[in-house]
Every structure is written in structure tokens, then in C-alpha cells.
Amino acid sequence: MRRAWSLIRTEPHYRREAFDAGLQRLGYQVISGPPADPRPGDVVLVWNRMAAGQRAAVIAERAGATVLVAENGYLGADREGRQLYALAIGHHNGRGRWPEGGAERWDALGLTVEPWRSDGAHVLVLAQRGIGEPGIAAPKDWARKTVNLLARLTRRPVIVREHPGRLAAPRPLAEHLAGCWCAVTWSSGAGLKALVAGIPVIHGLSGWIGAAAAGSDLAAIEAPVMPDRLPMLRRLAWAQWTVGELANGEAFDRLLSAAREGESA
């Protein structure tokens, strides 16, 4: 029997039971904890790639097993309020890979893409916690250094939105986006939501999943790019799944089929 080691936690909202059920539907024996002796054909499922997840992923990759990386969904929830979870082969936040399809999956989300905003006053810096896979997580002091650089590039007010995970009662993102000229992010989900809301975004992480719809040069803060966002959003839609699609095995079947095809190519 094929084996799948799962490092997904059960609390507070990770829906470990849905991840396990989906893998079991495909015939995997699900084992909790880090992999002991992975082999080609096995799967190691981690939440992000940090600490124990990173160690498990490295062990799995050296043995030829497939690493699947889960995280909170890029856009939070669909129009029906169903929680979405990101899932990709190897890495997260655009650095991994996943099979893409057509426009139908994005269309089914039912989310409205607002027109690009042509006015606004302040620049919003979206601070992050700096946790995650080495090389992908936001660098230490990224927000502070970004604010200092922006002070030399624009006279606009610069507002820092602290990561909500650091605050007892965070303000809704929509309040920070109201009257915003441009948002600056390393690689956050808040940056993706800003793009959907029509706010131009400048990002720091090369290969970020939202990069095709955003700029990467802070010096362009007074004339941020406003490309077509739909190609990026349609691609992103194939990298996140509902709890039901995880539990019935659809998400895992699609990704693992792509992983096998990649190995045989």
C-alpha cells in the first residue's frame, strides 16, 4: 500500500480529517508525523515548509517521494463562504507547481474583480510575520526597511498594516484599503485581495503567485503597473480547494497525477 505521512495539525482550523480522508480515498495509508522511510510513490503532506515541515520535505525529496504543501487559501473563501486551502507540489505561494485548467474554476468562485483604482492617497505596507520556508518567508525587518525606502520615493502617507495574527483585534483589511493608492507586500494573501479590490500592488518575492498582476519596483510607486489580472487569478484558482474537494480526493488526485507525469517526462 502506498503511504502518506501527514504533518497537518488538527487545531485550530486546519481540517486534518479532510486531508486524511482525501488521501485515503486514493488508497494511501495515512501516517501521522514525519516520514520514517519514504520511497518513490509515497507522499509527505506538510503545512507550509517551516521547522518540522521543512525537515520532513527535505527527507521526502531526497528519497524520491512527493511533497505536497498546504496552506490557507489565497483568497480566503468562495462566494458561498466555504473556506479554501492552498495545495501545491513542492512549495507554496507560487514557488510550487500545480496543474492548471481553464477559466471555469475562477468563474465558479463568483468573486468580483473591481476596476483598477485611479485615485487614492496613502501607500499601504502589508507587514508579514516572517514565518515560512527559508527563501520564501518575508525577510526580517522587511516592513521597516520598506517604509524607510518609501519615505525617499514618495510624499504620500505610508501606513503599515500589521499582520492580523499579531493583533488581538485587527481592523478589517477593507478599512485599510479604503482610500489606498497602492499596496506593498512581500508575498501576502492580503496583497492578492488588494489586487481583486482594484488596488495596484508592488511585491517583493520573486515568483510570488500574484506577480503577473503586480509590479516589483518600489521606484514605480507613483505610477504602479495595472496589468490584466484575470490570467493570474485563473491560474491561482487551480491552486486552492474547498474542504469537500480535499475530502473526496479530487484535489489530491489532480496534483498527484501531475506529479507522476512530471516524474515520467
The yes-or-no verdict on residue 56 having pLDDT over 90 is: yes
Residue-level pLDDT at 157: 98
- Helices and strands: H and E segment counts in the chain: 9, 10
**Which pLDDT score is estimated for 12?**
67
- The per-residue pLDDT for range 151-206, each reduced to its tens digit, is 999 999 999 999 887 766 789 999 999 999 999 999 999 999 999 999 999 999 99
Same domain assignment for residues 159 and 216: yes
Which amino acid does the sequence have at 176?
H
- The reply to whether 90 and 178 lie within a common domain is no
DSSP secondary structure code for residue 2 in this structure: -
**264 vs 225, which has greater pLDDT?**
225
Element (H, E) at 125: strand 122-126
- Please report the sign of the dihedral spanned by the C-alpha atoms of residue 75, residue 78, residue 81, residue 86: negative
pLDDT of residue 161: 95
CB within 8 Å of 182: residues ≥ 6 apart: 120, 123, 124, 199, 200, 201, 202, 221, 224
Question: Considering the domain boundaries, does residue 109 fall inside one?
Answer: no
What are the tens digits of pLDDT across the range 213-257? 999 999 999 999 999 999 999 999 999 999 999 999 999 999 999
The model's pLDDT over 5-18, given as tens digits with 9 standing for 90+, comes to 999 988 767 789 99
Taking 80 as the threshold, does the pLDDT of residue 60 lie above it? yes
Query: Would you state the pLDDT for residue 239?
Result: 98
Same domain, 13 and 84: yes
- For residues 96 and 19, state if they share a domain: yes
In the prediction, which pLDDT does 265 show?
46
Once rounded to an integer, what is the mean pLDDT over residues 100-116?
A: 95
Domain check: are 68 and 13 in the same one? yes
Q: What is the pLDDT of residue 240?
A: 97
Q: How far apart are CA 122 and CA 137, in angstroms?
A: 25
Domain with 183, as residue range(s), is 122-228
The cell for 13 is 482550523
Mean pLDDT of 34-50: 96
pLDDT of the residue at 113 = 97
97-120 mean pLDDT: 95
Residue 183 cell numbers, joined:
499596496
165 & 190 share domain: yes
- Are 55 and 150 in a shared domain? no
Per-residue pLDDT tens digits for 72-107: 999 988 888 889 999 999 999 999 999 999 999 999
Please tell me the total count of domains within the chain: 2
Pair 225, 116: CB distance under 8 Å = no
Residue type (1 letter), 231: P
Q: Which of 51-60, 130-139, 249-258 has the lowest mean pLDDT?
A: 130-139
8 Å CB contact between 262 and 31: no
